[in-house]
Structure 1
Amino acid sequence: MLTGKQKRYLRSEAHHLKAIFQVGKEGVSANQIKGIDDALEAQELIKVKILESCPDDVNSVAVELSMHTKAEVVQIIGRTIVFYRHSPQGIYRLP
């Protein structure tokens, strides 16, 4: 569980990042979960964009992805979700 101070730090680090995954009209698929899991292992901090055509709401997608990838939801802003999962070779040192 991330503290408020850690979330603030990660939000500031994620500000300049581009969304590297999109969830569209098919919803969350097993392929997307695997890709997001791999991206979290490599980068620790990623953004996922939820398209308007997605049948699920943003909060349910965030919960589903965080459960399957064991990642923390740092922020939900609009239709963009920021995820974080610590990686041993990662670059982020949390306060």
Structure 2
Amino acid sequence: MSLTNVQKKQYRNIGHSLNPVVTVAGNGLTESVLTEIDRALEDHELIKVRYSVTDREARYELVEETSKVLKAQIVQTIGKVALFYRAALEPNPKLSNLLR
């Protein structure tokens, strides 16, 4: 499922005030990092992830790999921060960034 332009605009607007919940260091996408991003997506649906990799191409590949492995949509990338969306199976109104 691809996001429409209207949805992307709405999610970017919501994501503007969010802080990154996970930082991916130079080690890349380890199992523990992927698990933490997966948990955050299930809880919050819309999250920011910071990639502390200086090489632009390597950072872009990490963002794409994160999206593919976790089946999440890339809403936006600005510099070292990417905004991801994945609908939760059972959204929690107290945790979801979309329902608050």
With normalisation by structure 2, the TM-score equals: 0.83
Q: CA deviation at 1:57?
A: 2.1
Which residue of the partner structure matches residue 59 of structure 2? Answer: 58
Which residue of the partner structure matches residue 26 of structure 1? Answer: 27
Q: Structure 1: how far apart are the matches of 2:86 and 2:27?
A: 25
SS at match of 2:22: strand
Which residue of the partner structure matches residue 79 of structure 2? Answer: 78
Pair 1:89-2:88 in alignment? no
CA contact (8 A) 1:25 1:55 kept: no
With normalisation by structure 1, the TM-score equals: 0.88
Q: CA deviation at 1:58?
A: 2.1
Runs (5+) with no aligned partner, structure 2: none
**Amino acid paired to 1:33:** L
Question: Sequence identity of aligned pairs in percent?
Answer: 32
**Amino acid paired to 2:26:** K
SS at match of 1:9: helix
Q: Structure 2: how far apart are the matches of 1:52 and 1:65?
A: 14
Q: Aligned residues, how many?
A: 93
SS at match of 1:57: helix
Which residue of the partner structure matches residue 42 of structure 2? Answer: 41
Q: Structure 2: how far apart are the matches of 1:78 and 1:55?
A: 9
**Amino acid paired to 1:49:** R
SS at match of 2:74: strand
